[in-house]
Chain A
Amino acid sequence: MTQVFKGHAGIGDEVTGEALVASDNFSARYDLDRIKGVFSRPQHKLYGQSYDGKILILNAAKGGVASAWMLQEMVSRGVTPKALILNFANPIMAQGAAFANLAMIDRFDIDITTAIPSGARVTVVPAKGEIRLLD
């Protein structure tokens, strides 16, 4: 049976893909090599891993304001996560997702980083604020 996790209604279109999960935070400027599409901050739990084409599931938005432009820039170059799922977004991530029309949901009733394992296939339904665990 498909498990469904509920968050706040989000931004963007429905997408399906492989989850990349860590109990760590997220900033496009601080954490990523956006040309190579990998996490580049040595202290990040996903250091060295590719986020391209993944449903990225992390704890909270951190860091500066650059992510608001950078999400759209990542989408335009085609090296981008399919969706960004956070326990807590901040305005910058929401503004960036709205500008880029990147799927994003936050504010779940559980810790979403412990509910979904890395590698699982999930469907993200922003209009309903739902993540469906398919495997």
Chain B
Amino acid sequence: MRLNDYEQEMLAGEHGAAKKYGMEQVVRVGTFFDAPDTVEVAQVHLMADPESLGSSGVEFLEGLAALPKAERTVVVPAVTDPRGVDLAAYQRLGQTEGMADLERRATAAFRALGFMMTDTCINYQTICPPVLGEHVAFGDTGSSIYANSVQGARTNFEGGPSALAAALTGRAPRYGFHLDAVRRGSCVFEVDFRPKDLSDWGALGAYVGRKMASYWEVPVITGFDDAPTSDELKQFGAALASFGSTPLFHMIGITPEAPTLAAVFDAVVPKAEKIGKLEVDALIQSYMPSDDKLDVVVFAGPQLSLMEMQTLAGLMQDRHIHKDVALIATTSPEIKYACDRMGLTETIEGAGGMVLSGVCFYQMYAREIGEANGWKRLMSNSAKLVNILGGYGYEPVLATMEACVDSAVQGRISEAAQ
């Protein structure tokens, strides 16, 4: 990789151990992907829940945090993905003191490094949306695909060690989705129906994601004349990224780099694969169990926007969750404050639900809290969450938010969901 003088100094350790670590990570990854040089990034979004970090990861962060302030401080605005423990609610969820301690230590280390603890995966909706052509280093698949696709910014999936490196150096290796050539379309999907609910948008993203062979394929979607909402594109992208490891899609006439098919293909446009309601319904149905048992309903993955929280509160108004079922909604601290002010939290919790702040369910030691609370059968309107939780010992079911709430009230999977 070509490095300028300052980058070579950072790599040699002349600006301290933190920047040395950062440049080493940039160069190792850049070399692996044949990056010619680096790009300067405008902002960083870092994922580092304590379950993923483990004690060794937290100790690594504490080592950086112990360096002199001038050496350890991030050089671009840097924000955090959801944490693993809501310290106001962890005991109710059966999370342990050990988990909470690891969370406190990781948070203290990130603060010492200069991170802003936004604790959200919907930073593109709630903190600082990037703009067309802006190079960023985003560290959640959902935030990355939304920034790349809907906002036209440029990022690879920057996992924690590399997002941290970007924050400390202001650099990311120039490869992948920082490059024009990699952002061209690979295949076309023609959608002949309009998904109605957020769960349908997620299922559509999941269907396309399953067709993706690798990170490097860019699906191009046609068939939509009217713009989806931000939350619809959020669910579509999050599921596509989760099922497909896909960081970019184009939606013709909707997303900023794709006004026409000709704009995203160099020569021949590939033959489109048609996707109808039948295919998407079949994907949803594939998660439906043969009995109606239900333990927990979760709205998360991604965290809910203010609009989603309002919809949820509306569905739970004047109702009560069944005593044998738990209902959890997760959102960002900023949106939680708004929900508190507007009475939405009171409505949801008054009906027996829990509103968690700054966390997301699958990043909360999902296996351990499932075992602690006896949760196995889980309903959600998030295709991403359903995809992840199968590996954590859950039996996940995908349904609309309305059907999830109805089921939580009835204490079993409602007939409407089946």
Binding site for B on A (CB under 8 A): 8-11, 25, 27, 29-33, 40-44, 60-70, 72-73, 76-77, 87-92, 94-96, 98-99
Contacts and interface: CB of A to CB of B under 8 A. Distances in A.
Given A29-B388, A72-B161, A91 B176 contact: yes
Report which residue of A44, A63, A64 has the largest number of chain B beta carbons within 10 angstroms of its beta carbon: A64
Interface string B156-195: 1111111000000000000010000000000000000000
Given A11-B32, A95-B159, A30 B387 contact: yes
Contacts of A10: 32
B84 to A, nearest CB: 11
Given A11-B28, A60-B213, A62-B245, A31 B391 contact: yes
A24 B235 CA distance: 25
Contacts of A73: 52-54, 56-57
A91 B158 contact: yes
B370 to A, nearest CB: 12
Given A60-B213, A67-B159, A94-B32, A76 B25 contact: no
Contacts of B156: 91
B33 A94 contact: yes
Contact of B161 (A25, A69, A87, A88): A69
Given A65-B159, A89-B32, 5 more contacts: A8-B32, A68-B162, A70-B54, A96-B159, A98-B29
A60 B312 CA distance: 37
Interface string B213-229: 11110000000000000
Contacts of A95: 25, 29, 158-159, 161-162
Nearest to A126: B32
B393 interface: yes
Contacts of B242: 63-64
Interface string B35-75: 00000000000011101111111001000000000000000
A27 to B, nearest CB: 8
A125 B54 CA distance: 28
A42 B159 contact: no
B159 A62 contact: no
Contacts of A44: 391
A43 B389 CA distance: 12
Which 6 pairs, one residue from A and one from B, show the smallest C-beta to C-beta distance?
Answer: A68-B159, A73-B54, A76-B56, A90-B215, A99-B161, A98-B28
Contacts of B161: 68-69, 72, 95-96, 98-99
